[in-house]
Every structure is written in C-alpha cells, then in structure tokens.
Structure 1
Amino acid sequence: MYHSWLDRWDERRARRGEEGKKVAGLVLDADRAFPGASETASIQEFCLLADQAVADPAFFDEPSDSDEGFERKDGWLKFPSDIATDIAANNVVWAKVTESGSFDHALVIFHHWNASARNRQIANFLSRRGITVVEIAMPYHFERSRPGSVHADYMLSPNLGRTIQSIRQAVLDGRKLIRWLKSDGYREISVLGMSLGSWVAGLIAARDPAVSKASLFLTAGSLADMVWTGRATRSIRDSLEPEVELTDLRRAWGPLNLENYANNLARPDLDLHIVLAKRDKVVLPALSERFMLRLEDAGARPTILELSCGHYSLAMPPYILLAGLSLKRFLFSAGKSALRSGPV
C-alpha cells in the first residue's frame, strides 16, 4: 500500500513538471553538435557524424587550457564557457562554492534537468566534514536560463544537434572548472551527477583523469532510450516519433551514451558509486540494469545502492537519508570496492 502511494506521489510530481513542455518538430542542427560540420539533410547523415564523434577521443576535450576570465566573489565563481551559443546568459558559467576550509577534496555537483534550486543541504553537510562543494549551473539553468523560458528546453529537446551541443558544453564547462580547482590546490576531485546531470558527470569521469571518484544518481547508459521511455520526456518522444525511429536516435545520440565509454569508466584509478530507484518511471530500471551489466563487462566494480522509491521520491525520507549516507561513505572511502545493496 505504501509503494502504491509512493507511485501516485511520483506521478503527481511528474505532472507538475510538464508545464511548458510542448510538442515540436525534429530538428537536426548538425553544425551545433559537431564543430565544422556542414549542413545535413537527413538523419542518416547526422548519424554518420555521430559515429565519428563516438570514435573521436578528443570530442569532449577542452578547446583551450586558458584560465582567463575566472572571477570569485562572495561564495560564487563565474567564468566564460568555451562554447558560444546564441543565448548570451548561457555563455557565462556560474557555480556556488561552499568552502570546507581544506584543500584536500572538492566535489563538483551536476544537478538534474529543470532543477529549481541547488543542493544546499548536501553542500553544507559535506563542507562541514572537510569537502568543498562546487555546484555548477548546467547550460540553460539557473543564472544561464534562456529569457522567457519556463524550463530548460534547450538542454534536452527534439533538436538533436542542440541537445548534443548542450551536453557537450556542460562537459567542457565541468572540465574547465575541475582544471581550475586543481590549479587552485585541491588534491582530490570528485563529481556527483543527478539524473541528466549523471550523464554529464559520467562523461567527465570517463574522459578526465583528474576525477578520482564519480557518484551517479538515477542514471543509465543510453540517453536516447531514457528519453524514449521516460515519464519526464514524453513531449520529446511525441515530437520525434513521427520522424525518427529509436534505432536512429540511439545512433544520433551515441556520443552521449555512457555505455560507449564503459571501458573509460572502468579505469583502475576511478571509483564509481551509483544510486538507483527501483520504482523509477523516468530512468527505467531496465535501462539502468543494462548499464550496470555493461560496466561489469568492462571490468568496473561500482558501489551500487538500490532503493525502493521512484525518481522524484528519492528526495523524500528515508530514501534521501540512505542515499546521503551511502554517498558520504563513498566519498570518504580509501579506494576501489565492489558492493551492491538493495532494494531498501
């Protein structure tokens, strides 16, 4: 009976998030996704470019190593993004810094899609225990929002090219921030990603050797499958389905599929921590399980916590407390481990 109530609560919460999500048409915009690409006229041409990006080890590398433009004041850090978009506010990256008084460890947090607030409780909890927390704004969120928008429709949408550009921008912004933190003296860098933010954190961890620990909440491998099957992205599927099949969308968004980087995530100097919701209707458990198997096949041994809640009800007690304690143990652990617990 309790789980039925929990499912209904998640559904009510999902409905509140549907404001402003409208059905639109498929847009390719390959020149946004792939720098230097010429205009493409078909999904097949787009998929060929995506295949090349998956095979390109430099696709998520920073275009420069300049630290110019970083400004730090009153607990905030801002700097220019290395990707210029047609939304001026989106081209400046903002991050909230909660200091710990130590340079031993910094955690960079990547929030979920359409986040309305940063994670002050997590930041305060960890900072009091010696970890500096840096909460970055992903593209088209918070201070970077598109004027007049009611949700971050430019970050994840039926515009295939803009979606790749936005997530690639989030990865490059995160890597630039991590490089600055290392230059500022932080010895250990961890990343935490939530839902869509877990794709960003995972891509960064797969590519950036400066990251020693990655915690992924409510995650899976294939972003295409998540969008196609998830409760929060019905309007995107409704926009795409008349014009593109799921098999093509998987190829088109191949550069964003964490399964394609499982070998990188299994590198010996990276610890992985994953929190999953067994009743998730946004990131379906079957997709998460497929990703876990892909990681296992690659040799990764993540610490996995499975909780008997939904995507949104993870934020409720006791689930958020269990997830928080698991995160704390992971961040303060000494090295690689393999543990799977749940459901709780």
Structure 2
Amino acid sequence: MTSFDLDAQLAFPGAKNVETITEFCECADRAVADPHFFDPSECNTNHQNEGGWIRFPSGLSTEINENNVVWAKLTASGSFDQALVVFHHWNASSRHRLLARFLSRRGITVVEIALPYHFERSRPDAAHADYMLSPNLGRTIQSVRQAVWDGRKLIRCLKSQGYAEVSVLGMSLGSWVAGLVAAHDTNVAKASLFLTAGSLADMVWTGRATRLIRASLEPEIGLLDLNRAWGPLNLENYSCRLARRELDLQVVLAKRDKVVLPELSERFIGRLNGSGVTPDTLRLNCGHYSLALPPYSLIAGSRLMGFLNGVG
C-alpha cells in the first residue's frame, strides 16, 4: 500500500510548489470549476484494432510504461447500432466474458477497457492496483483522470468506426469513471452505474474494502478536507451535467453493501433528483460482491439490457 502524500503535480500540472493540504484543496477547487479538466489532451486516438482488441497510447503519461498503453477487449455483435464501454471494478482479476457474450448476442457490441494499473496495464511486481486508488491524493486524481481521458478517447474511436450510439457501464470504482465520462462527453447516450455513489472520499472513508487506505489517510487529513481535495472525483459536483436531456441514466444498488454504503448512494440519487433527473434505479437485496452472483446478476443483467434497449 502506498503511503499518504500530496503529490499535487501529478493531479494538477504545474502545481509544483503545493506543500499544504489547504493549497492542494485550492487546486482541487479550480479543477472542479474547470470544464476542460477531463478533456483529453489529444484529438487523434491513433488506435490499432486487431484480433478483437483495440489498443492506443494513453493521453496522459505516467512513469509506468505499461500503464501508458490502453487496452480494450472488443466483443463484436455484428451490428454498428450500439456499443457499450465497460469500466470494471478496482483490482478486477478478469473481464466480464459472460456479460459481453450475453449483450453481443443481442446486438450490442461490448468494449471492456482496462483501467489504469489493471490487466495489461499493471505495474510490474505490484500485487494489486495500489496506484489507482490510494492515500496518495495526487496520484489517485491522476489515475482517475487518466481513466476518464482514456475512456473518452475510446468513445471517439468507436464513433469514428461508425457506431451510431455509444453507452457506458461502470461497476464500483468503474462507476465513478463511467459517471465522469458521461458527465463530460456528450457522445455518451446512456450511462449505467452499478454500485455507485457521489463522493469517492466518503466511499473510501466508510467502505470495508478501503480500510487500509483510510488508516493511512486519517492521521494526515480529515474527511471534510478529503472531500474537498478529491472534489474533482465527486460525481455530486457534476449532477447538473449528468442531468442533461440527451443522457439516460441507470443506477443499480445493493441494499446490504458494505463497500459503497447505501446511504451514500441514496444521497447521490437525491442530488440527481435535485438537478432534475430521475435515474432508472434498481435496488437489490444483496451485498457488494454478491451482486455478481445469481440470481442478482441475472436480474441486474436483464434490467441493463432493457435500459440499453430503451425498455423501462
């Protein structure tokens, strides 16, 4: 596990002299107000599409060479009507082969992108993706921002290939990435967020899976300041963007979730309602990890299929 650090220059280019939490939070405030913070720096994806894989250089460069190449597994449907970009959960060990097969057989091409420091992008000798989400404030923002940039570049690639409609699906930490992509990219037609909430800081502070991160954070920073420091990653700050008329939203929650607490999810839904949007919401009586098991996975998959097909 990486230790607490500001590393503001990783999150905010040019912020070399930031030495205090207050200064870091001021940078974060400016990033939240900056409509271009999540805009990829390069317009040309320069992608390679071969053997069921899409590969292209990330628009954000890190010191880990493997992480600087984006990989996405494509399960084609034979139709260019609709493509779904899938953002997996933190520390995922495999892609969602059954989901991809299920949707592709029903006319939806599935593209499963690797988040930073996962799968083909893993840091050498790292036991898990500790650079993606960690007590290093700047690196966490950099990693999520990189994931958003990569997702948006992939969507541009899919649109250039002729897909009429592109939607996104995010799971757990991937739902924050998918939500940020949907909030900032008008090419996204539908966004389905599984096991999500608004505040990433609150999720890390209260969730069972992130207790070690909190243990490193707590001696150095309080939750109030952490929420401000990670403000650029808080979906509640972009609720108005997510409420745009052209975007359809779906939220799938687990009532007994100990990783993303239900009260955090409900607060996020309340913020969306206040911004004028009522997402298609499914609340299942299961836990965070049991959502991936029958019968809950079947119920969620069926609801997702209906949402993507405009049935609800």
Normalising by structure 2, report the TM-score: 0.99
Write the mapping of 1:258-269 to structure 2, written as runs, cut at 5 A.
Answer: 258-269=235-246
Deviation at 1:67, TM superposition (A): 2.6
Looking at structure 2, the residues matched to 91 and 310 of structure 1 have their Cα atoms a distance apart, in angstroms, of 34
Aligned length: 312
Report the counterpart of residue 139 of structure 2 in structure 1: 162
Correspondent of 2:206 among 203, 218, 229 = 229
Encode CA deviations 1:204-234: one digit per residue, 9 max, x unaligned.
0001000010000000000000000000000
Alignment of 1:232-251 (within 5 A): 232-251=209-228
Counterpart residue type for residue 253 of structure 1: W
Structure 2 partner of 1:309: 286
Distance in 2 (CA, whole Å) between partners of 1:239 and 1:197 is: 23
Matched, 1:64 2:42: yes
Aligned to 2:114: 137
* Paired letter, 1:296: N
Please list every run of 5 or more consecutive structure 2 residues that lacks an aligned counterpart in the other structure. Answer: none
Query: Percentage identity across aligned positions?
Result: 69
Measure the CA separation in 1 of the matches of 2:308 and 2:200.
Answer: 26
Aligned twin of 2:157: 180
**Matched letter for residue 50 of structure 2:** K
Q: Which amino acid aligns with 2:27?
A: L
Equivalent position of 1:19 in the other structure: none
In 2, Cα distance between the equivalents of 1:180 and 1:39? 37
What's 1:292 paired with? 269
List runs of 5+ in structure 1 lacking aligned partners.
1-21, 338-344
Partner of 2:231: 254
1:274 matched to 2:251: yes
Amino acid at match of 2:192: S
Question: 1:316, CA displacement in angstroms?
Answer: 1.1
SS of alignment partner, residue 124 of structure 2: coil
- For residues 130 and 245 of structure 2, the distance between their equivalents in structure 1, rounded to whole angstroms, comes to 37
For 2:212 and 2:42, locate their aligned partners in 1 and report how far apart those are by CA, in whole Å.
37
Query: How far did residue 102 of structure 1 move?
Result: 0.6
Q: 1:218 aligns with which of 195, 202, 205?
A: 195
Runs of 4+ aligned structure 1 residues displaced above 3 Å come to none
1:33 is matched with 11
The CA RMSD over aligned residues, in Å, is 0.8
Aligned amino acid, residue 79 of structure 2: S
CA distance in 2 between partners of 1:96 and 1:258 (Å): 27
Q: Secondary structure at the match of 2:190?
A: strand
- 2: CA distance, partners of 1:61 / 1:308: 37
Quote the Cα distance in structure 2 between the aligned partners of 1:313 and 1:180: 34
The C-alpha deviation readout for 1:223-254, integer Å capped at 9, x for no partner, is 00000000000000000000100000000000
Per-residue CA distance 1:49-101 (angstroms, 9 max, x = gap): 00000000000001121132x11111011100011100000000000000001
Matches within 5 A, 1:198-209: 198-209=175-186
**Aligned partner letter, 1:47:** C
